[in-house]
Amino acid sequence: MGFEGFEHLHVTVSGDGRVVTLRLDHGKANEMGSAQLSELERLTTALADSDAVALITHSTKRSSRGTPIFVAGANVTERVGWSDDQVKAHVRWQRSVLAALRQAPVFHLVVVEGVALGWGTEYLLVGDYRIATPVASFALPETGLGILPGAGGTGELWAQIGAPQALRLGMTGERIDADEACRIGLIQEVCADADAAMERARVLAQLVARRSPTALAAFKKAVIASVGLGADKRTEGEARAYEHCVDTGQAAIGREHFAAIRQGEVPPWGQRKLP
């Protein structure tokens, strides 16, 4: 089925199949529930099975007052009547869905305009590069509700912004703006408005689309896998990733077409071969 047939998420693909765009615009506030999680699972599979090398996630959702919304949280209303075991199983599932999307062999750009609360802030952790507008805001309110951030905000957030900042967000529930989010590393850029942010994401995606899909997948896997490892294991992981590029013929293609690449041409990289 590929990228066709999504009912709850809006998925489009560029003409060359290299750039996929995920637009969020569902429910009252892009709340994420079972229907959306199921389609995120399918999207992750489709990304790995396709020629796509970049994914851009953004939102066009607005409140009734016109306030922009990225994701205002999980869909807790669907959990009414659930048993404790059902809730725990569901949260484990959402954690596994996001973990799998984090590993997708594409450069994932997340563009945030408006509120990104709870699950919305946690979704940023599956992005490889995050861009926001000045009206974006971020918070983890869960501990004030008797729970904790369970989709990466506890186990993964600290690895990207440091333990002190993760503890600050999770234990105070403080809402921060785009500039502060950029300062602590939760996002990487702030653009003037949504159009500028999307244009910046498209520029980056097009740069990625010129490169070897096999080398891109190997590079991303090696970088993510190296987090928390000692120097020897990081070095060995890099060696295996490099040798994968050699063994799959990508290095030879790069050498053969070196002059053309320097002139701005894109060589025939062929289909992606996952490490």
pLDDT in tens, 233-265: 999 999 999 999 999 999 999 999 999 999 999
Phi, psi of 112 (to 5 degrees): -115, 120
pLDDT tens track for 144-192: 999 999 999 999 999 999 999 999 999 999 999 999 999 999 999 999 9
pLDDT tens track for 200-230: 999 999 999 999 999 999 999 999 999 989 9
Model-level pTM? Answer: 0.96
Q: Which amino acid is at 131?
A: I
Taking each helix axis as running N to C, give the angle between helix 213-226 and helix 231-247, from 0 to 180 degrees, rounded to the nearest 10. Answer: 170
Confirm if 253 and 213 have CB atoms less than 8 A apart: no
pLDDT value of position 89: 96
Rg (CA), the chain: 19
- Check whether 137 has a pLDDT greater than 80: yes
| Dist. CA 48–CA 1, nearest whole Å | 13
List C-alpha distances in Å: 220 to 18, 29, 104, 146, 188: 16, 31, 9, 36, 17
pLDDT value of position 76: 87
| Dist. CA 177–CA 168, nearest whole Å | 14
Interval 19-48 mean pLDDT: 96
Interval 127-135 mean pLDDT: 98
Confirm if 105 and 224 have CB atoms less than 8 A apart: no
Interval 33-52 mean pLDDT: 96
- Check whether 275 has a pLDDT greater than 70: yes
- Check whether 1 has a pLDDT greater than 70: no
CATH 3.40.640.10 fits 10-208, yes or no: no
Interval 50-76 mean pLDDT: 95
Reference 14, options 54, 67, 69; nearest CA is: 54
DSSP, residue by residue, 219-249: HHHHHHHHTT--HHHHHHHHHHHHHHHHHTT
| Dist. CA 98–CA 154, nearest whole Å | 13
Write the Ramachandran bin of 114: left for phi over 0, alpha for psi from -120 to 50, otherwise beta.
Answer: left
pLDDT tens track for 82-94: 999 999 999 999 9
What is residue 252's DSSP assignment? H
Residue 110 bridge partners (DSSP): 57, 130
Interval 72-83 mean pLDDT: 92
Find the length of the chain: 275
| Dist. CA 112–CA 275, nearest whole Å | 31
Percent of the chain with pLDDT over 70: 100
| Dist. CA 138–CA 120, nearest whole Å | 8
Q: How many helices (H) and strands (E) does the chain have?
A: 11, 10
What is residue 147's DSSP assignment? S
